[in-house]
Amino acid sequence: MSTVSLSLQEIFDLAKKTLLANGCDEETVNILSDLIMKAERDGSLSHGLFRLPAYVTGLKSGKINGKGRPEVKKISPSVIKVSGNNCLAPVVLNKSIPELIKAAKENGVAVLAINNSHHMAAMWHETEMIAEQGLVAFACTSYKPAVAPAGAIKPLFGTNPISFAWPRPGQTPVVFDMATASMAMGEVQVAKREGHKVPIGTGLNKQGKETTDPGEIADGGVLLPFGGYKGSGIAMMVELLAGALVGDNFSYETAAKDNNDGGPPSGGEFILAISPDKLSGDDWNKHSDKFFDKMKSMDGVRLPGERRHKNRLDKGPRNINEELVNKIKSLS
Residues annotated catalytic, as ranges: 46-47, 187
Q: What burial letters (b/e) apply to 107-141, b meaning 16+ CB within 10 Å?
A: ebebbbbbbbbbbbbbbbbbbbbbbbbbbbbbbbb
Contact 6, 317 (CB under 8 A): yes
Q: How far is the C-alpha of 194 from the C-alpha of 188, rounded, in Å?
A: 10
Contact 183, 223 (CB under 8 A): yes
Contact 100, 271 (CB under 8 A): yes
Selection from 220, 237, 199 nearest residue 153 by Cα: 220
Cβ neighbourhood burial of 309 (10 Å; 0-12, 13-18, 19+)? middle
Beta bridge partners, 136, equal 274
Which amino acid makes up residue 327? K
SS3 (DSSP) at 272? strand
- Percent helix, strand and coil across the chain, each to the nearest 5: 45, 20, 35
